[in-house]
Amino acid sequence: MTWHLPGDLVERYAHGRLDSAQVMSVESHLARCPLCRAAVPYEDGWLAASWERIEDLVDRPRPRPVARVLRRVGVPEHVATFLAATPAPARGWLVAVTGVLAFAVAAAHFAARRTPDTANALIPFLAVAPLLPVAGIAMAYGRHVDPVYELQAATPMAGWRALLLRALAVLSCAVALSGAATPLLPGPPGLAAAWLLPALALTAGALALSTRFAPPVSVAVLAIAWFGAVAAGPLLADDRLLAFSPGAQALYGVAAPALVFLIYARRARLDPGGPR
Ligand SMILES: [Zn+2]
């Protein structure tokens, strides 16, 4: 090559003072001429930062949509990534929850149209809704259902923090879905929302029992006890809504924080790799 970029042209190029036609012709020369490339000054810091951005783009796995949404609402990146790695059973559970709620809402409307008594119509919804978050805990965790179980058992996030974090995520989903279904129900909104405190107490109870028994066993025991309590109302006290009465609600309100305290005290035993 006999012609090279004159020094003043290189200088104007480096400072961005050329029009786009000139830039293109300079760059087509630079692409072929190592001598002139070496003459173009560059900033070390700028070059290092550019490389970092490129490496970051190439190396970074595309975050899942759920993780992107969680990041946007302010969840720390490592927590968002962890929560987005939801096992398939948990996704199945989400579909099941939506189906159960849709069925409960439809059934309540159907029953309320036939008899004007909405309280009666709401009982199936009220009985099932508090158990949905709990059922998610049984399905989403443990050696046999969770494909990331081995992964979490070997990480610093393993154990009770991972379990509680996921339980919290599952609970938020179920509460949000049940909450969205509640205004669709016939009757007074106060009664339709009566499932909230029992749901909280049952979830805390499931986690507390999980410190001693396998999650599916804990959840099965609680589900039987809960249905027993709902059925006991009409049988023992001649009150169909005894399990949702103000007295019962106060009981759940006291039980939930007590159970949370118990979970905290026994948190070491929530470790899925630890002793049961
Ligand atoms: Zn040249």
Per the prediction, the chain carries an average pLDDT of: 75
Centre of ligand 1 to C-alpha 55, Å, is: 29
Distance CA 222, CA 58 (A): 49
Residue of 236, 243, 116, 134 whose CA lies nearest to 191: 243
Residues 137-187 have pLDDT tens digits of: 666 555 444 445 545 544 444 455 566 666 667 767 777 777 787 777 776
Q: How confident is the model at residue 254 (pLDDT cuts 50, 70, 90)?
A: very high
Cα(47) to ligand 1 centroid in Å equals 22
C-alpha 8 – ligand 1 centre gap (Å): 13
Taking the centre of ligand 1 as the mean of its atom positions, its distance from the CA of residue 244, in whole angstroms, is: 85
State the pLDDT confidence band at 253, using cuts at 50, 70 and 90.
Answer: confident
pLDDT at 267: 72
Centroid of ligand 1 to alpha carbon of 26 (angstroms): 9
Calpha distance 151→149 (Å, rounded): 5
Cβ contact 135:219 at 8 Å: yes
DSSP 236: I
pLDDT on residue 144: 47
Residue 276 has pLDDT above 50, yes or no: no
238 within 8 A of 227, measured Cβ to Cβ: no
Q: What separation in Å is there between the alpha carbon of 49 and the centre of ligand 1? A: 27
For Cα atoms 170, 130, 67, give the angle at the middle one, nearest 5 degrees. 15
